[in-house]
């Protein structure tokens, strides 16, 4: 009797394991008009699948694939390798969510255009491209707890009125820092020379402080706009600051 029960339980466990491993990805992804996102095609399983033609709020983002790491469940994390491609954004990285709700993104790289349709925070009339190389990002209860990596913005251009090239810039968050993440902000060439810092707070605020000056190739419009920042120092640089919410 005991042997029969043990065999029955083993068989049930094996069935459940096979069911989870082979369960179609469509079981995982929401469907219907109230779903936060939709996929034009769903392939694979819960463990390794593809959401083809991801659309979020009527904006297409391409194909998203994932490979779950089941052994991470024993550490209290749901973890997966994620890739995004065939759309405007191309990238990959590792995503882990703890049972307590902490989100960790690591070894993430992405290239994408600065398009207000993709990123509503981008001002209308601004174009360019971005490259993200993120070593680690930790979010706890929606707040940034730790950040290491680099974001580059290339060929930033304003199309408000006359087309005005603004240059290329980078912000780097070094490893090993404690407290609020503070990144080094500097230009990568262009009409403006810039250096400063970008501080991100746990309450979702940002604070930019720096020095800026115009290079000889700067347009008269840019040179004129810099005068609103006040008088320059002996080296020709002007202080600037900016605060806001993420």
| Mean pLDDT estimate for the chain | 83
Distance set, CA 215 to CA 42, 156, 169, 218, 220 (Å)? 51, 16, 15, 5, 11
On the question of pLDDT at 137 being above 80, the answer is yes
Place of tokens 């900016």: 242
List, as one string, the DSSP characters of 59-128: EEEEEEEEEE-GGGGGGTEEEEEEEEESSS-EEEEEEEEETT--EEEEEEEEEEE--TTT-TTSPTTEEE
Residue ranges of the domains in the chain? 102-246
pLDDT digits (tens, 9 = 90+) for 77-95: 888 899 988 778 899 999 9
Average pLDDT over residues 127-155: 92
Average pLDDT over residues 37-41: 82
The answer to whether the CB of 181 falls within 8 A of the CB of 200 is yes
Distance set, CA 224 to CA 70, 72, 230 (Å)? 58, 56, 11
Distance set, CA 153 to CA 44, 123, 140, 204 (Å)? 35, 14, 27, 22
pLDDT digits (tens, 9 = 90+) for 100-117: 889 999 999 999 998 887
Among 109, 82, 111, 102, CA closest to 94: 82
In sequence order, which residues have a C-beta less than 8 Å from that of residue 215 and are 6 or more positions away? 190, 191, 192, 193
On the question of pLDDT at 17 being above 70, the answer is no
Among 147, 127, 108, CA closest to 246: 147
In sequence order, which residues have a C-beta less than 8 Å from that of residue 11 and are 6 or more positions away? none
pLDDT digits (tens, 9 = 90+) for 186-225: 999 999 999 999 999 888 888 999 999 999 999 988 898 8
On the question of pLDDT at 3 being above 70, the answer is no
Q: Can you name the residues that pair with 63 across neighbouring β-strands?
A: 85
Average pLDDT over residues 63-82: 84
- Higher-confidence residue of 201 and 239: namely 239
pTM recorded for the entire structure: 0.81
- Residue 48 dihedral angles phi and psi, to the nearest 5°: -145, 105
In sequence order, which residues have a C-beta less than 8 Å from that of residue 211 and are 6 or more positions away? 194, 195, 196, 233, 237, 238, 239, 240
User: Of 9-13, 57-61, 84-88, 152-156, where does mean pLDDT reach its minimum?
Assistant: 9-13
On the question of pLDDT at 145 being above 60, the answer is yes
Torsion of CA 228, 229, 232, 236, to 10 degrees: -90
Task: Supply 178's token pair.
Answer: 């404690």
Torsion of CA 220, 221, 224, 230, to 10 degrees: -130
Tell me, what's the pLDDT at 31? 62
Among 101, 89, 163, CA closest to 126: 163
Note the Cα 140 to chain centre separation in Å. 15
């Amino acid at each position: 009797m005991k042997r029969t029960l043990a065999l029955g339980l083993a068989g049930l466990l094996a069935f459940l394991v096979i069911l989870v491993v082979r369960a179609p990805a469509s079981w995982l992804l929401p469907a219907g008009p109230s779903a936060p996102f939709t996929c034009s095609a769903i392939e694979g399983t819960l463990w390794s699948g593809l959401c083809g033609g991801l659309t979020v709020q009527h904006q297409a983002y391409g194909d998203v694939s994932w490979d779950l790491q089941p052994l991470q469940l024993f550490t209290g994390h749901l973890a997966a390798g994620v890739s995004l491609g065939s759309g405007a954004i191309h990238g990959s990285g590792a995503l882990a969510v703890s049972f307590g709700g902490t989100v960790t993104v690591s070894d993430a790289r992405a290239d994408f255009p600065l398009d207000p349709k993709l990123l509503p925070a981008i001002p209308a009339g601004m174009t360019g491209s971005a490259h993200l190389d993120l070593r680690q990002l930790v979010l706890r209860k929606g707040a940034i707890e730790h950040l290491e990596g680099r974001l580059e913005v290339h060929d930033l251009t304003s199309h408000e009125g006359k087309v005005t090239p603004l240059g290329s810039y980078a912000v780097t968050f070094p490893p090993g820092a404690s407290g609020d993440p503070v990144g080094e902000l500097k230009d990568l060439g262009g009409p403006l020379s810039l250096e400063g810092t970008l501080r991100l707070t746990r309450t979702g605020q940002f604070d930019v402080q720096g020095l800026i000056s115009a290079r000889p190739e700067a347009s008269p419009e840019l040179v004129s706009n810099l005068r609103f920042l006040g008088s320059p120092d002996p080296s020709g640089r002007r202080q600037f600051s900016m605060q806001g919410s993420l």
